[in-house]
Amino acid sequence: MVEYFLCQHDDRMLYSAVPIWDEEANAEMVNINNWTEWPFSYAAQFKVKGHDYMVYPDILMGSRMMVSDSVHELLQVYTPSLFSRMALFRDMERSQQKLYWMIQPPLVNCVGELSTFHPGGTLMKLVVDRERTEGRPLLLVQGLRETCTLVNLALAESLLRRGTSGISFQEVDMQ
């Protein structure tokens, strides 16, 4: 019986690095909105404005999920076919550069019948249909206004054992 957890940004992280698309460094023909069409060898350039206490989290949640190189290596073990592209975070003021990966987990229509929604169509409570997840370790829930990334128990435990920063997990109900 596979259990899933919703990946959420860890709000407890202070001074987290915030990547900003670098128009100048990226080729004019490269657009962040079609990053899935870039050549594999291309690395997107992001500026990072920070300070001396800035922390580079292992996972950055958002419309585009980004993970550190070490988390990317782990994800390759669990999901070898995971679609990803390189992203370089550059802090010019401190002469630092970090390798990250933009990832595109598989999109799976696994919203269960018992899920509830607010009148405007936003999610109130997610219930996942276990059969439709097909046992995938990492997935994006299809058919929601929100971006909901799920990981199975094995992957969540593996991430936690490694002290992964920037993310928290919330158990979701299954049907």
- Tokens describing residue 31: 């657009």
Q: How many domains does the chain have?
A: 1
Q: Quick one: what percent of the chain has pLDDT higher than 90? A: 62
CB of 137 closer than 8 Å to CB of 79: yes
Taking the mean position of all CA atoms in its chain, how far away is CA 99?
Answer: 15
Segment 69-94 shows an average pLDDT of: 92
- Tokens describing residue 148: 């909901």
Collect all residues with Cβ–Cβ distance below 8 Å to 117 and sequence separation of at least 6. Answer: 123, 124
Cross-strand pairs, 6: 150, 170
User: Is residue 45 pLDDT above 80, yes or no?
Assistant: yes
Of 61, 62, 20, give the one whose Cα is nearest residue 44. 20
User: Is residue 89 pLDDT above 90, yes or no?
Assistant: yes
Q: What are phi and psi of 139, to 5 degrees?
A: -160, 160
Bigger pLDDT: 49 or 8? 8
Whether the model clears a pTM of 0.75, i.e. scores above it, the answer is yes
Dist. CA 23–CA 78, nearest whole Å: 33
What is the Rg, in whole angstroms, of the alpha carbon atoms belonging to the chain? Answer: 17
- Mean pLDDT over the full length of the chain: 89
Dist. CA 17–CA 94, nearest whole Å: 13
Report pLDDT for 123. 92
Q: What are phi and psi of 99, to 5 degrees?
A: -90, 125
Per-residue model confidence as pLDDT tens digits over 107-118:
999 999 999 999
For 49, the domain range is 4-174
User: Is residue 20 pLDDT above 70, yes or no?
Assistant: yes
Dist. CA 10–CA 8, nearest whole Å: 6
